[in-house]
Amino acid sequence: MSLQCGIVGLPNVGKSTLFNAISSGKAEAANYPFCTIEPNVGVVTVPDERLEVLTELVKPQKVLPTIIEFVDIAGLVKGASQGAGLGNKFLANIREVDAIVHVIRCFQDENVVHVEGKVDPVFDKEIIDTELQLKDLESVDKKLQRIDKAARVGDAKAKAELEILKQYKAALEAGKSARTVQVSEEDKRAAIGDLQLLTAKPILYVANVDEASMLTGNEYSERLKAAVKDENAEVVVLSASIESQIAEIDDPEEQALFLEEFGLTESGLTRLIKASYSLLDLITYFTAGVKEVRAWTIRRGWKAPQAAGVIHTDFERGFIRAEVIKLPDYQQYRTEAAVKEAGKMSVEGKEYVVKDGDIMHFRFNV
């Protein structure tokens, strides 16, 4: 599965610095608005200790972790919904991603210009929120006009969609995001599935703090947490400048020593990547053999044939059964043959819901 998280925020909040740290690609980082014009895409691996366990057991020729793409999107300014700055380009780029990572400045530095002239994370958040909500309101209004005509002549489906769209319109006009509207998934798909609403996308906040605040946060990050407490959204506190230094260290032992100096057990980027994976409600299953051990990304709740289809469409089309091993059993018995002999390999059919961490082998015929 190809999944993308868009890194957004006001200019000069640390977006490109963060992107450079999590990606092998290098976005231009500069102390002025719009230094990032075209979205940069970086592919990053999802840290997973279970992959290391399997590698030790199987000793494959190669190991392939699962990935997420991060997109560094041009900085937004007030008025973007009306085309100010690079607003239209920015909003179009957000529309393409699966989730939003909103980077918010939570540090003071007189050498880094703030586009609004002051450091206020809640105010910054509201600027982005407002611009996205205004653009969504425009989209909802346009569809309301179309649907209203059909509803007036008695189209039952149009009437139902109209009522749901009115709920979204009311929320957006009240300064709330589309993701806060409580409707069923079926109704949501029917009413706004074709609109790609910006504020319907899941969101994760990154509080970009100074070095001294990496472990405990600061007054700015606490204010941000308080502002988003009703959104059911996670706030990851990190220092983008320190993370960029960590990312430059290739040797794992040196990197561990560097983290230890700052009192960290894992980098903020590792926490961010894991949180992004969770935000998209993704899980991992594994295939394990001598040729390769590989992690595969799927949506939580997918059944075995869907999971098989991620490997190849033929696997889903001709699905017969899935042979499933749990990692603790693999660790206990050490080999696939021993797991089978102990009766710990289950054989599952088309209705089996894949669990996070399953080790799977698919039987198929086309």
Q: Is residue 57 part of a domain?
A: no
Same domain, 86 and 227: yes
Same domain, 161 and 265: no
Residue 74: name the closest of 62, 89, 64 by CA.
89
Look-up: residue for tokens 């430059």? Answer: 248
| Residue-level pLDDT at 303 | 98
Q: Is residue 284 part of a domain?
A: no
Q: What is the DSSP string of 95-118?
A: HTSSEEEEEEE----TTS--TTSS
| Rounded distance between C-alpha atoms, residue 166 and residue 171, angstroms | 9
284 is in an annotated binding site: no
323 confidence band (pLDDT: 50, 70, 90): very high
- Find the helix or strand (DSSP H, E) in which 203 lies: strand 203-208
- For residue range 22-74, list pLDDT tens digits in order: 875 444 444 433 333 355 788 888 889 999 999 999 999 999 999 888 888 87
Same domain, 234 and 329: no
Q: Is residue 294 part of a domain?
A: no
Same domain, 182 and 81: no
Q: Is residue 213 part of a domain?
A: yes
Mean pLDDT score, 286-311: 97
Residue predicted with more confidence, 31 or 128: 128
Mean pLDDT score, 162-185: 95
12 is in an annotated binding site: yes
The last residue of a domain, from among 157, 180, 199 = 199
Same domain, 330 and 274: no
13 is in an annotated binding site: yes
Q: In what order do the strands lie in the sheet with 292-299?
A: 62-64, 292-299, 282-288, 359-364, 319-325, 346-348
- For residue range 82-122, list pLDDT tens digits in order: 554 444 566 778 888 999 999 999 999 887 766 667 899 99
- Adjacent-strand bridge partners of 1: none
| Residue-level pLDDT at 79 | 60
- For residue range 202-259, list pLDDT tens digits in order: 999 999 999 999 999 999 999 999 999 888 789 999 999 999 999 889 888 999 999 9
Residue predicted with more confidence, 90 or 348: 348
Residue 90: name the closest of 142, 139, 131, 134 by CA.
131
Mean pLDDT score, 159-179: 95
Same domain, 84 and 232: yes
Q: Read off the amino acid at residue 77.
A: V
Same domain, 33 and 104: yes
| Residue-level pLDDT at 31 | 42
15 is in an annotated binding site: yes
Same domain, 81 and 206: yes
| Rounded distance between C-alpha atoms, residue 268 and residue 259, angstroms | 10
Q: Is residue 53 part of a domain?
A: no
- What are the CB-based long-range contacts (under 8 Å, 24+) for 124-127? 124/9, 124/10, 124/13, 125/205, 125/224, 125/227, 125/228, 127/10, 127/76, 127/77, 127/78
366 is in an annotated binding site: no
Q: Is residue 60 part of a domain?
A: no
149 is in an annotated binding site: no
Q: Is residue 145 part of a domain?
A: yes
The last residue of a domain, from among 199, 233, 249 = 199
Q: What are the φ/ψ torsions at residue 346 (nearest 5 degrees)?
A: -95, 150
76 has pLDDT over 80: no
Look-up: residue for tokens 């005509």? Answer: 149
DSSP-derived pairing of the beta strands 292-299 and 62-64: parallel
| Rounded distance between C-alpha atoms, residue 342 and residue 166, angstroms | 58
Contact 205, 233 (CB under 8 A): yes
CATH of the domain at 183: 1.10.150.300
Same domain, 139 and 191: yes
| Residue-level pLDDT at 330 | 98
Mean pLDDT score, 257-271: 92
Residue 220: name the closest of 205, 233, 231 by CA.
205
Q: What angle do CA 211, 215, 220 make, to 5 degrees?
A: 70
182 confidence band (pLDDT: 50, 70, 90): very high
Where would I find the beta strands (DSSP E) of 47-96? 62-64, 67-72
- Please provide the average confidence, as pLDDT, over all residues in the chain: 89
